[in-house]
Structures are given as C-alpha cells and as structure tokens.
Amino acid sequence: SDNTIAEDLSRVLAVETGATANPEQSMAAVTASLVALGVDTTGLQLYDGAGFSTQNRIPPSVLTQAIRAAVQSEPTHGLLGWLAEAGLTGTLQNRFTSSPGTGVVRAKTGSLTGVTALAGVVITADGRPLAFAALIDGMPYGPEKPQAAIDEFADGLAQCGCRP
C-alpha cells in the first residue's frame, strides 16, 4: 500500500471524470464514484486521497458498503484476491498466524500515526462472507495494542455462526 499512489489515483479519477486534479475536485470524484456504486456516503469527509489529512472522516459503514459494491461490480469483482490473507500474505502475513482468522480474513490494513484500521471480508464458521471495517483513531504511538484489538474482533467474526 502506497499513500502517494492512492493520492495520484484520486487525481487521475478526477481527470477521467472531467474535473481538475486538485484535492477538492479529486475527493468530489471519489465521493461521486462511491455514490454511483450505491454507497451511502453520509458522514464521509475527504480532504486527500492519501489519508494524511486529520480532517478526513470515513465511517466504517462507507468502507463495508464500498467493499460489497466492489465485489459485486464487474471491473472489481476480484477484489478479495487483491487483499492480504490473514496469516499468509501481504501486510497480514504476520497477523492471525494461529487464530480463527487465519486464511479466512482478507483485508486491507491501514496505519498512520494515531490511526489503525482493517477493512475487508471474513468467512464465518458457517461459510458466510461478512464485510467488515474496524477503525481506531486518537490512540497513542504504536499500533500493536489497537491491532490486537482489531484482530480479536475479526477472529470473533470468523468464529460466528451468523446465519439468521
């Protein structure tokens, strides 16, 4: 994951939609794209594509809806294969190494000073895929304790017999 590339992609999206590649119009293009996918963007406030702005506000519901929409959309239906796999690949290779989430959590990690997040899909014990997002903000330096809490949450989802 590269924050500079994320910023550049948001600006390319703006240009592709006929807007100017400045932060304001880039974030408007991102928001409009999410709305076009059917995502309820209530509470979403974006000021940059890299995630560095302390003014950004991204509700977990926006992330989970975006994941669901991406999996159901033709150009991005392979999203899950692009995400790190718990205990096995990418930024999750050394997390969930011997827990219920091993191999059944696929997610994107996020870590900046004071912020830790994990958003993706977990396959529950009864085989149901659940989109999830967990974000922790305003924490002291060091992501270890917040990551452990988020991992425990995802492990709980993995153990769930969640069928109605």
92-126, pLDDT tens digit by residue?
999 999 999 999 999 999 888 888 999 999 999 99
Going by pLDDT thresholds of 50, 70 and 90, the confidence category of residue 61 is: very high
Burial of 17 (C-beta count, 10 Å sphere; 0-12/13-18/19+) = middle
Answer for the pair 10, 118: CB distance below 8 angstroms, yes or no. no
Q: How far apart are CA 156 and CA 144, in angstroms?
A: 18
Single pTM value for the model: 0.90
Amino acid identity, residue 126?
D
Q: How far apart are CA 15 and CA 25, in angstroms?
A: 9
Mean pLDDT over residues 36-55, rounded? Answer: 95
Residue 14: pLDDT over 80: yes
Collect all residues with Cβ–Cβ distance below 8 Å to 97 and sequence separation of at least 6.
87
What is the side-by-side order of every strand in the sheet holding 129-137? 84-85, 105-112, 115-123, 129-137
Instruction: Tell me the residue ranges of DSSP E strands in the chain.
Output: 84-85, 105-112, 115-123, 129-137
Collect all residues with Cβ–Cβ distance below 8 Å to 7 and sequence separation of at least 6.
48, 49, 50
Question: Look-up: residue for tokens 């997002």?
Answer: 133
